Structure 1
């Protein structure tokens, strides 16, 4: 493996600042020069970069061509994409031609189904990999009402979210016993009543697909996974969400086995994340993200340097047996810092 590596992040989350630190603090003494682009010249993701540029707002192949030109110009060895991963995967041969390794799943059919959650849920049918929640896809108010009533009749509390959203965007829980006055004086809430949701949705003829589904009231887990270039699982660490900012790295054999089944079936390379939530004793799938998760820096407290090991395996380095430390309770605090303005 090279001792000096040019590495590029495009329009990442703020936590990529922490992943850059993990890459630099690697046990092999590999030196990284880290490049980044983002439309916001003072975005936190650029603060950990050695070199950054303001990224133009482009779509489709034009955006991919911009990325390829950036990689060529700066002799990028490894590109870790977040934005437009599907477009990048569809044109990954353009990066191959200039010698840039891209940490992306090349199975574009799988990537597309992971974006549209109902497609992926359907692909799991009959495979025995994991349980999925009861759900229906709707795009008008009458179908929303019917789906809600069927789920309630089946004994479920109901929630809904956009079918192709990322993270918690658009997620709402239907609660018809809300105290609106208390909410007005309290924190912003994800709760809504059926009547409020229905009235809003009925204000238009159709809307983008919503997934109306059973609410899973148990513990939520993010399973951070590391695979080699072929998608063979190297390690998986379940991270349980507790109250507030508390997280627990838990040696949950049931979830680790699910991670193994996901890897054996879909062969997702490098870093990926499985989000699950319990209903009683049964863990059910929320979503799978074919990238580093927003909380991966917490999981790295297990002693596994997930970002660095993904890059190492992409560059042909040997990754030996991995033994995560479990039973760790973790949290985080804010820290002030002076910002760099990359527009200057």
Structure 2
């Protein structure tokens, strides 16, 4: 119970993730003014979270057999109360190993293993959308080159753009927009290279070099994109949609809270159907008619979830309260700030000779 503690220790994984500063801000600026010691871990030593946290450790990837044992050593040494994972590839393993952490007196903010397996798979999310009457993009699966060509053509390529992505990935890894739009001097001089658009011929050339991945091929949705930050506890469910006004390399740089009832209802229905817990999120994009269609689920802390702190509900901290045995019973959603703007900027930390922290901006 948090009430029995004068402070709390939280271990945050993926300390090099773009959203780490926001996650730590949410922990330190909690509505109970509870002092929280932050222990950060990452695969790499030189990451920003190292200098924002109180303690830092380097750990191997979740694919390394030593990952869990080393993490258990750290939580015992630092008297950690809660583990807050930020890395997609850690979720299934941590969900499977929750009992080991429970035995050490540590809670892990992760849904059940079966829920994570479903939510991490983009195909399963689309199937869940169909089962809950949530709009979703038309799609086909492609397990080989012929199926990919047939699927792309079925969505009107080359006249129309088509989206291709693997079933399981995070960030924008593996995402490509197949386009026949040629690059001319005007585009070359005026557009920043994004690395997302690709011709069908060039994509096939890449995929022929290696084991063919199972891909989702779907219609291209030309409208704006939304993230919905979610909290789902025993007694309370909250959804906070925000328009992603500016995105760079998959990271939100400008967002606007829009408490759209359709996005809230769709997200709550999907969260219930997938049986997700604590804090997580969904991505939607509008089609040519303005209908929001679900793209995928992030069954973990989202990179810009800190926006919820300023909108009026600290999803990350309330997830910690929930797992520590203090379920949130009530929240007046009319207190949420509709129209909240969030602007991200390039900040940094300065360190001298790896030991002296000089400051941040």
- TM-score, normalization: structure 2? 0.86
1:169 is aligned to 2:173: yes
1:43 is aligned to 2:51: no
**Shift in CA distance, 35/89, structure 1 to aligned 2, threshold 3 Å:** same
Alpha carbons 1:3, 1:30 under 8 Å: kept: yes
1:272 CA drift (Å): 0.7
State the secondary structure of the residue aligned to 2:130: coil
* CA RMSD after TM alignment: 2.5
Q: Distance in 2 between matches of 1:206 and 1:77?
A: 42
Q: Distance in 2 between matches of 1:181 and 1:161?
A: 29
Give the match for residue 219 of structure 1. 224
Give the match for residue 85 of structure 1. 91
2:245 is matched with which residue: 242, 247, 250? 242
**Shift in CA distance, 18/243, structure 1 to aligned 2, threshold 3 Å:** closer
- Where do 1:168-317 residues align within 5 Å? 168-182=172-186, 184-185=188-189, 186-189=191-194, 190-201=196-207, 203-204=208-209, 206-228=211-233, 230=234, 232-243=235-246, 245-279=253-287, 280-317=289-326
Once the two structures are superposed, residues 48-76 of structure 1 have per-residue CA deviations (whole angstroms, 9 ceiling, x without a partner) of 21111111345265322222222122221
2:149 is matched with which residue: 145, 150, 159? 145
Alpha carbons 2:163, 2:217 under 8 Å: kept: yes
Alpha carbons 2:161, 2:219 under 8 Å: kept: yes
1:17 is aligned to 2:21: yes
Q: Distance in 1 between matches of 2:36 and 2:21?
A: 14
State the secondary structure of the residue aligned to 2:350: coil
Alpha carbons 2:229, 2:239 under 8 Å: kept: yes
Unaligned ranges ≥5, structure 1: none
Once the two structures are superposed, residues 142-174 of structure 1 have per-residue CA deviations (whole angstroms, 9 ceiling, x without a partner) of 221111111218x96311122211122222212
Once the two structures are superposed, residues 5-60 of structure 1 have per-residue CA deviations (whole angstroms, 9 ceiling, x without a partner) of 11101224132222212211223121111111112222112222111111134526
State the secondary structure of the residue aligned to 1:272: strand
- TM-score, normalization: structure 1? 0.89
Q: Distance in 2 between matches of 1:117 and 1:93?
A: 27
Give the match for residue 332 of structure 1. 344
Q: Distance in 2 between matches of 1:264 and 1:191?
A: 34
Alpha carbons 2:244, 2:255 under 8 Å: kept: yes
Q: Distance in 2 between matches of 1:162 and 1:178?
A: 25
1:296 CA drift (Å): 1.1
Give the match for residue 101 of structure 2. 95
State the secondary structure of the residue aligned to 2:70: helix
Unaligned ranges ≥5, structure 2: 248-252
Q: Distance in 1 between matches of 2:181 and 2:63?
A: 44
Q: Which of 62-71 and 272-281 deviates more?
A: 62-71
**Shift in CA distance, 298/187, structure 1 to aligned 2, threshold 3 Å:** same
1:120 CA drift (Å): 3.1
Pairs aligned (count): 339
Q: Distance in 2 between matches of 1:339 and 1:115?
A: 36
Give the match for residue 250 of structure 2. none
Q: Distance in 2 between matches of 1:278 and 1:287?
A: 13
Alpha carbons 1:140, 1:206 under 8 Å: kept: no
